[in-house]
Amino acid sequence: MTNPDYGRAFPLWREAAAEAWYRYTHHPFVERLGDGSLSREAFLHYLRQDYVFLIHFSRAWALAAAKAETMEELQAAAATVHALVHVEMPLHINTCAAEGISQGELESTLERTENLAYTRFVLEAGYSGDFLDLMAALAPCVLGYGEIGLRLAASAGVTPWRGWIDTYAGAEFQDACRTVGALIDHSLTRRLGEVWEQQPRWIRLCARFETATQLEIGFWDMGLQPHV
């Protein structure tokens, strides 16, 4: 299967973090979403933690808007915040409601350490660094889910988690991935020039991307340990 086309930086970052990227995108949690063997309990546990994750993830995109240097960056980041907060999160709440988890229950979810580690890493990268640090730390989640969604949509059998797959393989989310990919490329060019992959910062942005990918693996690991 061909890798999705989310711009120029993404395949380079993915390549630089190849081993971790594979473990993230082919994690047992992912495979079980695809073959239907993921238990409902594990899925609900994941949904609950993902609610907490989405709040902090939205905050990180809001921070990107605060750190934007151009009108285009500001609008792109603000549009992502809006999509997350006013579309994705209400959708998430509805999905949870359909599974019998009330919003009150979602809000009282105890944040797991693997979850906390990931979002605080992203936010701190953004606060201490600049817009690019945020992009590198935010990319694995957005673009990885896009890639996972596409792959599972093409390969998955009968699975109760088809809805999840369709969301991330769907045109709307894939569009969002391309938009984010373009934003990343533009923001790199603006700050590091056309050959950004030869700049000293590039290697550190690759490291940011890889650490975020490792933390995605930790998030899936947590997803398979509902009772801890």
Contact characters 98-127, a second copy, x per CB under 8 A: ---------x-----xx-xx--xx-xx--x
Q: Supply the minimum distance, in Å, between the C-beta of residue 184 and a second copy.
A: 16
Distance CA 13, CA 72 (A): 23
With CB under 8 A, what is the number of residues at the site for a second copy?
47
Q: Is the dihedral of CA 9, 14, 17, 20 positive or negative?
A: positive
DSSP-H helix ranges across the chain: 9-16, 18-25, 28-35, 40-66, 71-83, 89-98, 103-107, 113-128, 131-155, 162-169, 171-192, 200-223
DSSP assignment, residue 85? I
DSSP assignment, residue 228? -
SS3 label, residue 196: helix
Q: Which of 16, 17, 20, 60 binds a second copy (CB under 8 A)?
A: 60
The catalytic residues are 141, 216
Q: Supply the minimum distance, in Å, between the C-beta of residue 204 and a second copy.
A: 8
Query: CB-wise, 63 or 150, nearer to a second copy?
Result: 63
Where in 158-217 is the site for a second copy (CB under 8 A)?
Answer: 189-193, 199-201, 211, 214-215
Which residues of the shown chain bind a second copy in the complex (CB under 8 A)?
55, 58-60, 62-63, 65-68, 71, 74-75, 77-79, 81-82, 85-86, 89, 107, 113-114, 116-117, 120-121, 123-124, 127-130, 133, 189-193, 199-201, 211, 214-215, 218
